[in-house]
A and B are shown apart, each in its own frame.
Chain A
Amino acid sequence: MNAPNQSGWKPTSPVTGAADGTNTVTGNKALMLEEPLIFEIGNCETTGVDLPEPDLSSNRLGGFARDAEIGLPGLSEPETVRHYTRLSRQNYAIDLGLFPLGSCTMKHNPRVNEKVARMPGFADVHPLQPVDTVQGALGVINELAQWLCKLTGMPGVAMTPKAGAHGELCGILCIRAALEAKGDAREVILVPESAHGTNPATAAFAGYRVENIPATAEGRVDLAALKARLGPDVAGVMITNPNTCGLFERDMKAISDAVHAAGGYVYCDGANFNAIVGRVRPGDLGVDAMHINLHKTFSTPHGGGGPGSGPVVLSEALCPYGPLPFSELHADGTLTLVEEETAGERHPHSFGRMSAFHGQMGMFTRALAYILSHGADGLRQVAGDAVLNANYILRSLEDVLDAPFGASGPCMHEALFSDKGFADGMTTLDLAKGLIDEGYHPMTMYFPLVVHGAMLIEPTETESKAGLDQFITALRSLAERARAGDETLKAAPIHAPRRRLDETLAARKPVLTWSEPEVAPGEPSLSEQGGS
């Protein structure tokens, strides 16, 4: 087998005789500590928990007892703490600095949110307890739902979707259910080319054919072209607003009116709601469905890739088709759950259930704590500061970085640049990797697809002016190096825990799980021969 790591190098095999003033025997560099895999340091006899000795000699497993070794290594508690603490230090994080990933909204994660999510009444409650023992949990869902409805100007909200893409699916399924209820089978969903990849993937999954909506030269949906394409085969449009070029779709209401007049529905990708919360309500713009990433706008932690939460606000037209289950507030203040049992009477047109249980409770508590902390006034300020910070970056750098839509007016929460003006051979990737050496996480790269070598920078509202000024200085320096053709950028990053990683090799010869290495112990590896 051709394993990608042909050198056999790993943190458990220190290179003897390598210490030379730059390199060390251990491979560690002071606080930058290498860490082996648990499979290389743990074993099947070690455990970090105290439990009685197992005895399954008499059991009711019906002959299915697992006899063969599973091969799960254990570590003692101190080794476990050290392993994961060392791993954690190889990550960049918002807690360490500016994390300007456009469209991802990496903002400060308040710790009081973590505290409230761990209150026993939320953390230690089973989803199938009798509803009169979980009135407070349903209360959180209900209170958050009311906030989301008021902030968006929409009458209803489906709380169960588990992330943004799951919310998109919820919205599109509502649209399809609404059309089917009218006996109006339609085939096409229109999506701008600048959309997140989840939009076309979602529409295709729901059985629709995806067609592109053209954009104008200033980076917005081409209203005339959209109107020309609308017809009896178009189920709806999926529009991100503010869009992924960082611009507000100022024709949104006209787009909605046109789509509605043609018998379709308007889905809005709410990934960028952070830019407009408290400043404009999507419901006023004719939107029929919009997901809200609680892990973006409402600051539930991204956790290295989730969990997210993607409630979907719905218009009057789509509310009847929303998913099960949901909570219902009664006149006496009690809350009940509408599930399959009562759906026939309470919610007969629902398209059904999208997942087990009642949604991402742990995210609801955090998001509600965040919303209550800000209040209606603070949330309006959130959007204001997020947009101010992005425009500050846009205008501070447009003399050294090409801003393709800089002339289209102010940007919203994110500033978009292209690689135009870079010396031949210098790329957005080079600049991004250079940012790593300067101590920043790179911006979103090569997205949106409509801009060559796109760099999408979203600072969010939780950055200070001094922090932005330092970031601007670093980015200006990198832009100048890219324009000048400074080849040393090609080697970046040089100060990170790893140099550039070979992604092609990883895909060509996938190694997705650990297995015992085939290099015999004793056989010299490349690194021991001095290769690198």
Chain B
Amino acid sequence: MRYLPLTDTDRSAMLETIGASDVDALFVDVPADHYLTAPIEGLPHHASEMAVEKHMRALSKQNLAAADAAFFLGAGAYRHHVPATVDHLIQRGEFLTAYTPYQPEIAQGTLQMLFEFQTQVAKLYGCAVANASMYDGSTACWEAVAMAGRVTRRKRVVLSGALHPHYAETVKTMAKFTEDQIADALPSLTAKPDNAGLIARIDDQTSCVVVQYPDILGRIPDLAEIAEAAHAKGALLVAVNTEPVALGAIKAPGELGADIVVGEGQSIGVGLQFGGPYLGLFAVRDPKHVRQMPGRLCGETVDAEGKRGFVLTLSTREQHIRREKATSNICTNSGLCALAFSIHLTLLGEKGLRALAAENHRLACIAADRLAQVPGVTVLNDTFFNEFTVILPADAREVVRKLAQDKVLAGVSLGRLFPKVDALSGGLVVAVTETTTEEDIATLGRAIEEVLA
């Protein structure tokens, strides 16, 4: 077996040193009636690298890759061009095959990168401090809700109706076990987000209000107004962002008064990957909240010679020290995805991020204008970044299925996101990025016209 260096001669010599007759003798503590003396039946035996590749390629080919379609899906996962440099650098063995940096003297590469990453995220979000990443946006969203409870010592949580439904479901699942009371809602199909309705749901028992920015329908809510209302009741504003590229064009949630800003970092550097692994981003506006944050934090320090260096710090918040009193049970996070994000964002820089955001918005405007011309179709949004909602005079889910047969992946239907809600069934969330061509947009326009005709 190509991954196993020991030879039978080695094994014999080692067994002699140990004083055991054979390898099975080392498993003497496994009760004999449960010890397997042969490979488990009904499973294939080892395979060559070539055979494995062939098997996996056959599975890969049963999927319609985004590059082979006119592609308009978003709703929490976006297709952006990732420079080849990113994928090359994250495959350097010193990054790829390192562990969590518990021994800082020989992990400065990972630690300095995390320090840079935390700073990049904090700047992008308009916050004071960001952590070294969470699993993904949805779990970061739950951790923000849990943290708000620790800060405010309140248990009532208001979710905006326009929060990604998977995020809302994640929060609701976790809350069942922590006894937080979650008030959720369905999105209303209005051109502007219903801030007044949301604000009316905040009271003096509210721990936090959770608002997606831009929201699941692509609209850009006025966070400042919500922050003011939340703060007046002693509640925190948790802002959720699923498309970090947007923050190259629109104001940072932290600047607008959000107390905890979380989101999905997948857009920058990570790729679609059928939903994972992704990258949870987590930041706080006020540095006094740092000790209530979940997850790992990297901090600056000096070594015995006074040279600058970096270490994991404030670990008394964490499970390996604090055990049952930890702020979270998270251990492994999303380090390699954080590296990919950080490299991509370094390649972009402020100039590139702003240009990328502008290009996304420009193409999205073209797409919105084109779809508005389709008879019977209306564009819902007053405002949007690179994603908007159209209302079709038909079940959008059926339209998406039909168009997929012609390699047009038209978007994410609200029926997929909010099943069995008749009022939303005509909604289609369309995302446009720099990878979308004007030809793709023309194809989509034509395809929707034909299927509705």
Residues in chain B near residue A339, CB distance under 8 A: 419
Question: Of B194-202, B226-234, B271-279, B442-450, which binds chain A?
Answer: B271-279
Q: Which parts of A371-403 form the interface with B (CB within 8 Å)?
A: 372-382, 384-385, 387-389, 391-392, 394-396
Determine whether the beta carbon of B335 is less than 8 Å from that of A304. Answer: yes
Determine whether the beta carbon of B106 is less than 8 Å from that of A304. Answer: no
Question: Of B112-120, B154-162, B370-378, which binds chain A?
Answer: B112-120
Q: Does A22 contact B (CB under 8 A)?
A: no
Determine whether the beta carbon of A340 is less than 8 Å from that of B419. Answer: yes
Q: Does A478 contact B (CB under 8 A)?
A: no
Determine whether the beta carbon of B85 is less than 8 Å from that of A81. Answer: yes
Residues in chain B near residue A39, CB distance under 8 A: 116, 119
Determine whether the beta carbon of A116 is less than 8 Å from that of B105. Answer: no
Determine whether the beta carbon of B346 is less than 8 Å from that of A85. Answer: no
Q: Does B73 contact A (CB under 8 A)?
A: yes
Chain B: which residue is nearest A77 at the CB level?
B85
Chain B: which residue is nearest A94 at the CB level?
B97
Q: Does B185 contact A (CB under 8 A)?
A: no
Determine whether the beta carbon of B361 is less than 8 Å from that of A92. Answer: no
Residues in chain A near residue B173, CB distance under 8 A: 173, 323, 351-354
In the complex, per-residue mask of A197-211: 1 if CB is within 8 Å of any chain B CB, else 0 = 110111111110010
- Known interface pairs A90-B109, A436-B105. Does A48 touch B304 (Cβ–Cβ under 8 Å)? no
Q: Does A31 contact B (CB under 8 A)?
A: no
Q: Which parts of B78-129 form the interface with A (CB within 8 Å)?
A: 79, 83, 85, 87-110, 112-113, 115-116, 118-120, 122-124, 128-129
Determine whether the beta carbon of B346 is less than 8 Å from that of A48. Answer: yes
Q: Classify the interface of chain A: helix, strand, loop or mixed.
A: loop
Determine whether the beta carbon of A355 is less than 8 Å from that of B139. Answer: yes
CA distance A71 to B120 in the complex (A): 8
Query: Count of A residues near B, CB < 8 Å?
Result: 215
Determine whether the beta carbon of B98 is less than 8 Å from that of A302. Answer: yes
Q: Which parts of B234-263 form the interface with A (CB within 8 Å)?
A: 247-252, 255
Determine whether the beta carbon of B108 is less than 8 Å from that of A91. Answer: yes
- Known interface pairs A88-B89, A247-B29. Does A461 touch B135 (Cβ–Cβ under 8 Å)? no
Residues in chain A near residue B290, CB distance under 8 A: 510, 512
Residue among A56, A84, A116, A512 making CB contact with B298, cutoff 8 Å: A512
Determine whether the beta carbon of A360 is less than 8 Å from that of B99. Answer: no
User: Measured between C-beta atoms, what is the minimum distance from B402 to chain A in Å?
Assistant: 10
Residues in chain A near residue B123, CB distance under 8 A: 70-72
Determine whether the beta carbon of A9 is less than 8 Å from that of B308. Answer: yes
Residues in chain B near residue A200, CB distance under 8 A: 319, 323-324
CA distance A368 to B326 in the complex (A): 33
Chain A: which residue is nearest B178 at the CB level?
A207
Determine whether the beta carbon of A162 is less than 8 Å from that of B277. Answer: yes
User: Measured between C-beta atoms, what is the minimum distance from A118 to chain B in Å?
Assistant: 8
Determine whether the beta carbon of B59 is less than 8 Å from that of A121. Answer: yes
Determine whether the beta carbon of A465 is less than 8 Å from that of B13. Answer: yes
Determine whether the beta carbon of A75 is less than 8 Å from that of B346. Answer: yes
User: Measured between C-beta atoms, what is the minimum distance from A321 to chain B in Å?
Assistant: 12
CA distance A115 to B289 in the complex (A): 42
CA distance A119 to B58 in the complex (A): 10
Determine whether the beta carbon of A87 is less than 8 Å from that of B109. Answer: yes
Interface centre among A87, A369, A532 (most CB of B within 10 A): A87
CA distance A35 to B323 in the complex (A): 36
- Known interface pairs A96-B94, A351-B173, A499-B303. Does A410 touch B28 (Cβ–Cβ under 8 Å)? yes
Interface centre among B34, B67, B336 (most CB of A within 10 A): B34
Residues in chain B near residue A421, CB distance under 8 A: none
Interface centre among A11, A49, A164 (most CB of B within 10 A): A49
User: Measured between C-beta atoms, what is the minimum distance from B137 to chain A in Å?
Assistant: 7
Chain A: which residue is nearest B358 at the CB level?
A54
Determine whether the beta carbon of B29 is less than 8 Å from that of A410. Answer: yes
Given contacts A48-B85, A61-B385, A302-B97, 16 further A-B contacts (CB under 8 A): A49-B83, A49-B348, A90-B94, A116-B60, A128-B75, A162-B135, A164-B331, A248-B27, A250-B29, A305-B333, A375-B45, A377-B46, A491-B304, A501-B303, A501-B304, A514-B119
Query: Could you pull out 11 A-B pairs where Cβ atoms are within 8 angstroms?
Result: A38-B346, A55-B362, A72-B124, A91-B110, A96-B94, A247-B29, A306-B333, A392-B18, A441-B103, A501-B104, A503-B104
